[in-house]
Amino acid sequence: ILPFASVNQILLLLLVLTVCAILYNKVHNVPSSLKNETVDLESPEEMEEEIPIVICAAAGRMGAAIAAISSIYSNSEANILFYVVGLKNSIPHIRKWIENSKLKEIKYKIVEFNPMVLKGKIRQDASRPELLQPLNFVRFYLPLLIQKHEKVIYLDDDVIVQGDIQELYETKLAPGHAAAFSDDCDLPSTHEMVRSVGMQNTYMGFLDYRKQAIRDLGISPSTCSFNPGVIVANMTEWKHQRITKQLEKWMQRNVEENLYSSTLGGGVATSPMLIVFYGKHSTINPMWHIRHLGWSPDTRYSEHFLQDAKLLHWNGRYKPWDYPSVHTDLWENWFIPDPSGKFKLTRPES
């Protein structure tokens, strides 16, 4: 017969083993559905909001879109979805370029833009025919192209992003505002550039104030303009305010009454936006849109200033893939050569 103390020790040992067995089962026999939920909760892909970026890939300047996408993707850890918009005949080229380069890792959708939506809405302008390209008006139709997102970034193709695009995406839009832009008077460092190339940065440079329809708007001609090459847009407000319909209305009025001044290259896509969004837009941090790099082939910003910039925009005639142009080295850092060889950089030695 075992001593009483030994029986107690055995019972205690059995109790400890039983408790251990119960705990083991609790830890290791978690229902599989619960296990999956735990994995999903810890997955950064599931937690992170998708950032939709709309960028156009036009024939003849497709390398611009490639460089822009490359710069955005390389400088951010964000969960980015690129909407690459093109015309039917150029889509195979841009798809092949992406899939046969290091950009094959990006998340993207190719979207075909139908230029027929612009029929009867564009007045021909012989002085700047490049501004009449259908893809210049993609920004008017964002809700038709992008269905599932509340907030969207639109970028012109002639930009380079040096910061984390998440910062731009987090731009706050005031209640009731459908979009945020950069005001053309916002950054003192750019004022000298504007003066040196004789460029307008007010509504006078875009709208023809000799026309009664423009004077009836009640907008002072000295009002600071904004640049719609970088847009952070709220799709719910855009649809609620019928922004696309408003823009189309002013396009049609321009066809009939010639309301936009084209002498300074203000462009037929900027002017209707200046009217529709007058006094009803939020502002983007100025360092997220350093522009006018394409306005002169020899007027340059300081290198130190450009290093601090988050986004560079070569708006104007002198593009960084052509010659002459300025600060081309900053752009070429992100350019990826065309695997098909169709798109080539224009350089003095070529």
Has residue 7 been placed in a domain? Answer: no
Has residue 269 been placed in a domain? Answer: yes
Has residue 344 been placed in a domain? Answer: no
Q: According to the model, what pLDDT value does residue 147 have?
A: 87
Q: What is the pTM of this model?
A: 0.84
Has residue 102 been placed in a domain? Answer: yes
Has residue 46 been placed in a domain? Answer: no
Q: According to the model, what pLDDT value does residue 17 have?
A: 74
Contacts of 292 (CB under 8 A, 6+ apart): 190, 193, 194, 197, 199, 313, 315, 316
Has residue 305 been placed in a domain? Answer: yes
Has residue 45 been placed in a domain? Answer: no
Distances in whole angstroms, Cα of residue 152 to Cα of each of 69, 78, 239, 267, 295: 15, 14, 13, 23, 28
Helix (H) or strand (E) holding 55: strand 50-56
Q: What is the distance between the alpha carbons of residues 57 and 88, in angstroms, rounded to a whole number? A: 11
Q: For position 78, which CATH number holds?
A: 3.90.550.10
Q: How do strand 159-161 and strand 311-313 relate by DSSP bridges?
A: antiparallel
Total tally of structural domains belonging to the chain: 1
Q: According to the model, what pLDDT value does residue 40 have?
A: 37
The letter for the amino acid at 280 is K
Provide the residue range defining the domain that includes 86.
51-333
Q: What are the average pLDDT values for consecutive 10-residue runs of the chain, which has 350 residues?
A: 60 70 53 33 58 97 98 98 97 98 97 94 69 89 94 98 98 98 75 58 89 96 94 98 98 92 66 97 95 89 94 94 97 97 90
Q: According to the model, what pLDDT value does residue 134 have?
A: 93
Nearest Cα to 228, choosing from 341, 138, 338? 138
Has residue 338 been placed in a domain? Answer: no
Longest dimension (CA), the chain: 117
